[in-house]
Amino acid sequence: MTDTITHLTDSEIVAQGRKVTWIGFGVNAVLAFLKIIAGIFGRSTAMLADGVHSLSDFVTDVIVIVFMGLSRRKANSKYSYGHGKYETFATMIVSFFLIVVAIGFFVDGAQKIWDSIHGHEIARPGMVALVMAVISIASKEILFHYTRYVGRRINSQLIIANAWHHRSDALSSVATLLGIAGAMFLGPSWRILDPLAAMLVSVFIVIVSIKLAAPAIKELLEASLPPDLVKQIDTIVANTKGVKSYHKVRSRRNGNTDIVDLHIQVDPDITVKQGHDIATDCERHLKKLLGKSAIINIHVEPYHSH
Q: For residue 187, what are the contacts with CB-CB under 8 A and spacing of at least 6?
A: none
Average confidence (pLDDT) over 222-228? 86
Provide the pLDDT for residue 105: 76
pTM of the model: 0.65
User: Span 86-94, mean pLDDT?
Assistant: 79
Q: What dotted CATH number matches 227-302? A: 3.30.70.1350
Highest mean pLDDT among 168-177, 178-187, 211-220, 260-269: 260-269
Q: Which of 22, 18, 85, 93 is nearest to 58 (CA)?
A: 22
Task: Look at 283 and 166; give whichever has higher pLDDT.
Answer: 283
CATH 1.20.1510.10 describes domain 10-220: yes
Alpha-carbon gap, residue 147 to 166, rounded angstroms? 8
- Looking at 76-85, 123-132, 255-264, 285-294, which range is the least confident one? 76-85
CATH 3.30.70.1350 residue window(s) in the chain: 227-302
Q: What is the pLDDT of residue 59?
A: 66
**What is the residue-averaged pLDDT of the chain?**
82
Q: Provide the pLDDT for residue 5.
A: 47
- For residues 249 and 232, what is the distance between their CA atoms, to the nearest angstrom? 12
Q: Report pLDDT for 2.
A: 44
Average pLDDT over residues 130-136: 91
CATH 1.20.1510.10 domain locations along the chain: 10-220
**pLDDT of 6 over the 60 cut:** no
* pLDDT of res. 76: 67
The Cα–Cα gap between 165 and 32 comes to 15
Query: Which contacts (CB < 8 Å, 24+ apart) does range 62-67 have?
Result: 63/90, 63/93, 63/94, 64/17, 64/21, 64/90, 64/94, 64/158, 64/159, 64/162, 65/18, 65/21, 65/22, 65/25, 66/90, 67/158
- Residue 243 is predicted with a pLDDT of 93
pLDDT by residue (tens digit) across 36-47?
Answer: 898 888 877 778
Quote the pLDDT of residue 131: 92
